[in-house]
Amino acid sequence: MTRRKFLYYAAGLSAVGATALYARGMMGGVMGERGMEPSGMGAGMMGSNTLGAVNNFFNPLHIPPEIKGELRGGVRHYDFDIQEGYREFIRGLNTPTYGINGNYLGPTIRLKQGEEVSLNWQNNLGEATTMHGHGMHVPAIMDGGVHQIIEPGTKWSARYKVNQKACTNWYHPHMMGKTAEHVLMGLGGMIFIDDDESLNHPLPKRYGVDDIPLVIQDRSFASDGSFIYNKNMMTVMHGYHGDTLLVNGTVAPYLEVEANLLRLRLLNASNARVYNFAVAGVKNRLIASDNSFLERAESVGSVVLSPAERVEVVVDLRRVFAKKLYLVDRESGAKVLEIRVNKRAQVRSAIPSKLTTLETINLRKVAKKRRFVLETRGPGRLLINRKRMDPKRVDERIKVGEYEIWEVKNAPMGMGMMKMGMTHNFHMHAGHFRVIARDGSKRKVLPWERGYKDTVRLGVGERVTLLVKHSGYIDSQNPYMYHCHILEHEDAGMMGQFTVEDA
């Protein structure tokens, strides 16, 4: 037995009963609300990574500190130190990490629609990085993408007016060729945006009490406690998969809550793993997707999230006092979080019958159609429209305020019955889109894809139809990005650029 395994057993972790996540072959899949959904690496691809089963949840869930900024001269300022550190994930071992205002991950940023804000990032690492507001509607020069590099010892500020509906976003590095490694080391955190509508809802909204941020990641550890990350061709092609789950940087976490409504904000912050989340034993009510509330809450059996996707789910715990429930990943069979219902309710909350109003989809307004094909054309050649990312090239020029259809396809490798491939997803900077069809069918659009989205999963051979409109910021010189958000794919060049220009 290795020292690492001994430490895991001593801490209450066991790999006994671990479920192979991807060894499902041509017929592999996970059961979603609408039947079989493609598994993590896609039909025909076999994987070797498993998640160890947790039998003893012994660490209280870390709740990231919430910061609301400081008003200075009419602008709300948020100050951040990007830093190196250590974190004891495994008892007695210090893991070298990166963090923001701490040793691993960063605080939850609370923003309010309509406010002028300045997010000030001081880079105290020994290498350059960037900091991207994922899901944020901001000017291109404030996007924090590959062009807004923060050199060691310097500061960069993203200043803008918060101009979007209430939602759950996040922030993470976007350094060309280094995003996967920087996120793996611990750079990232959540952004909660409030608006008048969300603040007036009777939904659970006590941060860390009944409104819980859940940053879910997978990692593997060496015997000295350090993260294992070998960026070989297998990792580049299939993405990094660890064998240990972290929630807010916590191994084997438990959360003590009231017997009340509980709001969970789920973020898949893993490099490549796809999850199928549910709180087992109670009704799961979906209230929000990436960039907005749904118009009405919807009951779901589970929610499939690819990297960077977010949802908000409310579960009713009012009749389960003195019980333990589990957030589970039905893709792997792993338990993610133990929920201990051991407190009496202190407030009343409810899910309103109407959560928000989304813009009506009107395809008669569409001015242009674009097609994007995500494909693999050999080892390490991960392309969009047969092109690899070039930061000096603008691939698409978008007219501000115009509606467009973006058809995005995950092209399989091979022919006929021998089609093979892997899951990709598609993320668009600067705004949001509506998923209006999967493989040409409106009925195949999943419940968590019905709100405003910025990231969408594509199984092998799948095609999604997106309704896109960019408004607010015009800049013909500084581009935004679109890309696969499996981070190793992004780093390998499965990314393109677009500008938003005057109509």
Asked if 145 and 192 sit in the same domain, the reply is yes
- Residue 236 is part of a domain; what is its CATH number? 2.60.40.420
CA separation for the pair 188, 499 (Å, rounded): 26
Asked if 75 and 19 sit in the same domain, the reply is no
In a domain, 54, yes or no: no
Sorting pLDDT into bands at 50, 70 and 90, what band is 42? very low
Asked if 221 and 330 sit in the same domain, the reply is yes
Summary mean pLDDT of the chain = 90
pLDDT of residue 16: 27
Asked if 168 and 245 sit in the same domain, the reply is no
Q: How far is CA 146 from CA 98, 162, 211, 397, 482, in A?
A: 19, 22, 33, 18, 12
Alpha-carbon dihedral sign for residues 158, 164, 166, 167: negative
186 Ramachandran zone, left/alpha/beta (phi>0; psi -120 to 50) = left
Asked if 125 and 207 sit in the same domain, the reply is no
Number of separate domains in the chain? 3
Q: Tell me which residue range forms the domain holding 409.
A: 363-501
Asked if 190 and 207 sit in the same domain, the reply is no
Q: Could you count the other beta carbons within 10 Å of the beta carbon of residue 67?
A: 16
Determine the Cα angle at 496 with ends 494 and 501, to 5°.
165
pLDDT of residue 15: 31
Alpha-carbon dihedral sign for residues 314, 319, 322, 326: negative
Model pTM above 0.85:
yes
Determine the Cα angle at 353 with ends 348 and 356, to 5°.
105
Asked if 195 and 232 sit in the same domain, the reply is no
Q: Could you count the other beta carbons within 10 Å of the beta carbon of residue 56?
A: 12
Sorting pLDDT into bands at 50, 70 and 90, what band is 221? very high
Q: Which of 142, 168, 200 is the last residue of a domain?
A: 200
Q: How far is CA 57 from the centre of its chain?
A: 24
In a domain, 248, yes or no: yes
In a domain, 189, yes or no: yes
Chain segment 183-196, per-residue pLDDT in tens? 999 999 999 999 99
Asked if 74 and 194 sit in the same domain, the reply is yes
Asked if 184 and 209 sit in the same domain, the reply is no
CA separation for the pair 154, 149 (Å, rounded): 10
Q: Which of 291, 310, 343 is the last residue of a domain?
A: 343
* 3-state SS, residue 194: strand
What is residue 140's DSSP assignment? Answer: G
In a domain, 354, yes or no: no
In a domain, 48, yes or no: no
Q: Say which residue, 307 or 38, is predicted with more confidence.
A: 307
In a domain, 355, yes or no: no
In a domain, 196, yes or no: yes
Partners of residue 343 on adjacent β-strands: 258
Q: Pick from 243, 239, 274, 233: which is nearest to 487 by CA?
A: 239
Asked if 258 and 214 sit in the same domain, the reply is yes
Asked if 372 and 466 sit in the same domain, the reply is yes
In a domain, 467, yes or no: yes
